[in-house]
Amino acid sequence: MRPSWIGRNPLKNSAFKILLFVLTFAMLSSTTVVFATTIQTSGHVSLANDPAKRSWADIKVEYSYPDKVEPGERFYVDINLTYINNENAKIVAMEFHDLMVYIRKPDAKQLVIASMVDTRRCIVFPGGSCIDRISIDAPSNPGEYLVALTWITYIPMTEAYGRSLGPVDMTWNTGEWRDTPKAKLAVQPVLPVIEHAFAFPSARASSLAP
């Protein structure tokens, strides 16, 4: 009786398995994984001359964007502004408008680059949200940056706490808030992909004489 491996090519089979692994690894390594940074913070409406700093409205701010981009690459910032429905909701309705995204260096307050201004007006009642997506181009110089938002809130005449507020436009700038250092953006050039060529030895089927 002949051994069961007679007529097979073990070396060829091994080479095929290695080649299959290399091709599979190449396909997996070429897949791009995009990680996102999400910033969640909040602000409130209050009178500057109120010693108690009582809130007339609380605003939840959330925005997301890729944590790494290439120099000059256009990317998107997804934004959600929510008028929180709680005991501080004294204003019947507000309008958010002139929303803009800007990028600046961590050690400087002046902006490096800014998006177009979205001039659309979004009316929100307590519990309501305004959702937007704004595109912006990354700075041309590699480095670490911060991403921030600005917008204007129109507040109609409102009475609460025995005082009056409005009508007034309030300007908001998250770049001046305490959570600003968390809004990091890495601008990095893409590293070149080094391709390796693999050569496998040729093999001939071996056999034993009957």
* Residue whose entry in the numeric block shows the structure tokens 């390594």: 29
Structural domain contains residue 10: no
Question: Is the pTM of the predicted complex or chain greater than 0.85?
Answer: no
Q: How many residues does the chain have?
A: 210
Domains held by the chain: number: 1
Q: What is the pLDDT of residue 198?
A: 52
pLDDT at 126: 98
Residue 2 in domain:
no
Beta strands in 48-201 (DSSP E): 57-66, 68-69, 74-83, 94-104, 111-114, 122-124, 129-137, 143-155, 158-160, 163-165, 168-173, 184-187
In-domain check, residue 203: no
Asked if residue 149 is part of any domain, the answer here is yes
For every residue of 50-71, which 3-state class applies, written as one string?
A: CCCCCCCEEEEEEEEEECEECC
CATH of the domain at 53: 2.60.40
Q: What is the pLDDT of residue 5?
A: 37
- Note whether residue 29 is domain-resident: no
pLDDT tens digits in sequence order for the chain, 210 residues long: 443 333 444 444 444 343 333 333 333 333 344 679 999 999 999 999 999 999 999 999 999 999 999 999 999 999 999 999 999 999 999 999 999 999 999 988 888 999 999 999 999 999 999 999 999 999 999 999 999 999 999 999 999 999 999 999 999 999 999 888 999 999 999 876 665 555 555 545 444 444
Q: Which domain holds residue 43?
A: 36-187
Residue 204 lies in a domain: no
Residue 10's pLDDT is: 44
Question: Residue 3 falls within a domain, yes or no?
Answer: no
CA distances from 139 to 66, 112, 142, 165 (A): 14, 7, 7, 40
The owner of tokens 């800007």 is: 102
Residue-level pLDDT at 199 = 53
Domain contains 129:
yes
CA distances from 26 to 15, 68, 199 (A): 16, 23, 16
The H or E element containing residue 43 is: strand 36-45
Q: And the tokens for 61?
A: 């701010």
Provide the pLDDT for residue 81: 98
